[in-house]
Amino acid sequence: MPSDAETRRWKLERGVSGDYIFKGVTVLFAFSILVILLLMIFEMVGESLPSMRKFGWGFIAGREWDAVQGIFGALPYIYGSVVSSILALLIATPLSVATAVFITELAPNKFGGTVAALVELLAAIPSVIYGLWGVLVMAPWLQKTVQPFLMDHLGFLPFFKGAPYGVSMLAAVFILVIMVLPIITSITKEVLLAVPQSQKEAAIALGATRWEMIRMAVLPYGRSGILGAVILGLGRAVGETMAVTMVIGNNPQISLSLLSPAYTMPSVIANEFAETTSTLHASALMEIGLILLVVTLIINALARLLLWSVTRERKGGSRG
């Protein structure tokens, strides 16, 4: 039997004690993820406290935002964020799902791959560049062409009243649609690829047309995954900052008209946080950030759970 000292020396020479240090480092870094998450929540809550104490729940319902008088209400920003993201998702979802189906089920292999690669490449373009295009190309085009057209033909609706500013809720919705399309498309594509071949073959064997196969075998199987993709797109739209800030007009008003400028939660933070006039002002912006954080945490948790359930089924399926 070697003595304790000998064993220890042997371990040292062989670098076994290095294992403990190494494991310690990996544990530390892996848990840093959770530390960062908790730290974010803790910091945001802490910094929001002065505003919470002052305004309570009224903060969410308040319509006034006056840095000089120290009155802060977040409703116009919440309204802007909700409306712009929901409308963008309503337009983007059918287009993205149809495109994903086209890539996975209809297009010839090579061509589908090219379209998918193109979409993914475009998803990598930074949002500030979408904003650049939005403010210098799209907004003037909306102002000169689209908005006058809408006012002439649909002007009797409250959604299309007012003057054509270019920068507007409509511009924000458009830019968000363009930005979430690649995201929803590429995740939906992954989900649809997980649909087992046997399912599709069964539908075809029963005499289904291709569309019937898609409707009966592909889409129902991918339902929860597609929902996950859409919710992830929603998270992206709600948190999108630069592009929206550049085209939405930054005016904290609640208006039914899509033609008038509006404001979103990330935009007001981006515009005001570096130059706050008082601690209360900074705290109010922090509270808006906290609302945004809580909303995106819930959205992302939900989306991930849905997507995880799909990919796990796929792994189980391939083994069996």
Partner 1 sequence: MKSLGFRKLKNAGMTLVMVASTVAVLIPLILIFVHIVRMGFSSISLDFFTQIPKPTGETGGGMANGMAGSFILIAMASALGIPIGIFGAIYLAEYGGKRISNVIRFGADVLSGIPSIITGMVAYTLLVVPLKGFSALAGAFALALIMIPIVLRTTEEQLKMVPDSLREASLALGVPLWRTSLKVTLRSAMKGVMTGILLAIARIAGETAPLLFTALGNQFWSRKLNEPIAAMPLQIFSFAISPYEDWHRLAWAGALVLVTLMFGLSLSARYFGRAKKQS
The residues in 40-59 that bind partner 1, with binding defined as CB under 8 A, are 40, 43-44, 47
Per the structure block, which two tokens stand in for 255?
């208006």
Residue with smaller CB distance to partner 1, 174 or 257: 174
Amino acid at 113: G
CA–CA–CA angle 61, 63, 68 (5° rounding): 125
CB contact set of 26 (below 8 Å; sequence gap of 6+) = none
Q: Using the rule CB under 8 A, give the single segment among 2-10, 31-39, 63-71, 190-198 that binds partner 1.
A: 31-39
Nearest distance in Å: CB 138, partner 1:
9
CB contact set of 106 (below 8 Å; sequence gap of 6+) = 112, 210
Under a CB-based contact definition with an 8 Å cutoff, are residues 244 and 266 in contact? Answer: yes
Under a CB-based contact definition with an 8 Å cutoff, are residues 200 and 218 in contact? Answer: yes
Out of 203, 217, 232, 259, the only residue in the binding site for partner 1 (CB under 8 A) is 232
By the rule CB under 8 A, 127 interacts with partner 1: yes
Q: Using the rule CB under 8 A, give the single segment among 63-71, 123-131, 147-155, 157-165 that binds partner 1.
A: 123-131
Out of 143, 241, 255, 283, the only residue in the binding site for partner 1 (CB under 8 A) is 241
Residue with smaller CB distance to partner 1, 190 or 240: 240
The SS3 assignment for 254 reads: coil
By the rule CB under 8 A, 313 interacts with partner 1: no
Helix (H) or strand (E) holding 72: strand 71-72
Residue with smaller CB distance to partner 1, 137 or 157: 137
The SS3 assignment for 107 reads: coil
Alpha helices in the chain (DSSP H): 4-14, 16-55, 58-61, 75-101, 109-123, 127-133, 139-141, 147-154, 169-193, 197-205, 210-213, 219-221, 223-239, 242-247, 265-272, 279-319
264/239 Cα distance (integer angstroms) = 9
Residue that is written with structure tokens 């690649």 in the block: 182
Out of 6, 8, 10, 29, the only residue in the binding site for partner 1 (CB under 8 A) is 29
Beta-bridge partner residues of 66: 71
Binding residues for partner 1 restricted to 59-88, rule: CB under 8 A = none
Out of 76, 131, 225, 228, the only residue in the binding site for partner 1 (CB under 8 A) is 131
- Cβ–Cβ contacts within 10 Å for residue 46, how many? 12
Helix (H) or strand (E) holding 34: helix 16-55
By the rule CB under 8 A, 30 interacts with partner 1: yes
Residue that is written with structure tokens 């979430």 in the block: 180
Out of 70, 126, 220, 317, the only residue in the binding site for partner 1 (CB under 8 A) is 126
Out of 49, 90, 98, 163, the only residue in the binding site for partner 1 (CB under 8 A) is 98
Out of 8, 63, 144, 210, the only residue in the binding site for partner 1 (CB under 8 A) is 210
Nearest distance in Å: CB 44, partner 1:
7
Q: Using the rule CB under 8 A, give the single segment among 56-64, 113-121, 147-155, 156-164 that binds partner 1.
A: 113-121
256/254 Cα distance (integer angstroms) = 7
Binding residues for partner 1 restricted to 138-167, rule: CB under 8 A = none
Binding residues for partner 1 restricted to 267-286, rule: CB under 8 A = 269-270, 273-274, 285-286
Residue with smaller CB distance to partner 1, 106 or 157: 106
Out of 10, 22, 58, 317, the only residue in the binding site for partner 1 (CB under 8 A) is 22
